Amino acid sequence: MLDCTASIVTYKNPPEMIKKAAHSFLNCTLNVELHIIDNSPTQDLKTQLADLSINYFFNGCNAGYGKGHNRSLETCSESKYHVIINPDITITPSAIESLIAFMDDNPDVGIACPKVLNTDGTLQYLNKRYPTVFDLFARRFLPHCLLPYLQKRLDCFEMKDVGYNSVTDVEFTTGCFMFCRTKVLKQVGGFDPRYFLHLEDCDLGRMVQKSGFRTVYFPGAAVTHEWGREPHKNYKMLFVMIVSMFKYFNKWGWKFY
């Protein structure tokens, strides 16, 4: 059994970004395996990654984030842990080893997420409570001039009242880097394939919690995230986000505030 397997789903991401993410995972001291699932329209990326010891899969279409990671989960070697990694993630040295040690010591944890940093070393506030319609609407649609009036509410949603300095149970763990217990991930069936993108990470966390395992923030390990914030830049991706919101609330119940 491998110590850890991992998957990166990519769609038209720069090859150098993928290589950086891959190297940061493969450079750990453990017995690992990495899958790259390419949702891009062409498989040009394959030749760019020829020097890496990876498993490359070309989907031939943009099948979505969750479906891509599920393909890896179905084909990867047997492992104790499986990591969901965004293409824009760089893993700091010894982070994988630290996460494995933490998970070994806490068998009731199904998913652990590390401290996530910007490229300048500042903290990204990605721990969240279960979303309401108001929380998601305010973050995506309200003018910036109104956000200061809702700061206390938004800070609570991002768990700033709890803080980011200690191990904490988190209802909504970030999907940019999810360190999962493989047997638990397979037990819940991986990501719900009905989500194309967005909120599939919250949905997965809830399924893991429903199965009796904890989802936890572990600040003893860190990764760097080059955050793109696509829904804020692209109307098409904003529409995808809205569709995911309807799917999420239809599944878990509509909570408006």
Residue 9 is part of a domain; what is its CATH number?
3.90.550.10
The number of distinct structural domains making up the chain is 1
CA atoms within 13 A on the CB side of 122: 3
Residue 187 tokens, joined: 């037990």
Q: Are strands 89-91 and 214-225 parallel, antiparallel or unpaired?
A: antiparallel
Could you tell me if residue 243 is inside a domain?
A: no
Show the domain range for 179. 2-129+164-225
Could you tell me if residue 151 is inside a domain?
A: no
**pLDDT by position in tens, the chain (length 257):** 999 999 999 999 999 999 999 999 999 999 999 999 999 999 999 999 999 999 999 998 999 999 999 999 999 999 999 999 999 999 999 999 999 999 999 999 999 999 999 999 999 999 999 999 999 999 888 888 888 889 999 999 999 999 999 999 999 999 999 999 999 999 999 999 999 999 999 999 999 999 999 999 999 999 999 976 554 557 888 899 999 999 999 999 999 99
- Among residues 88, 136, 120, the alpha carbon closest in space to that of 232 is found at 136
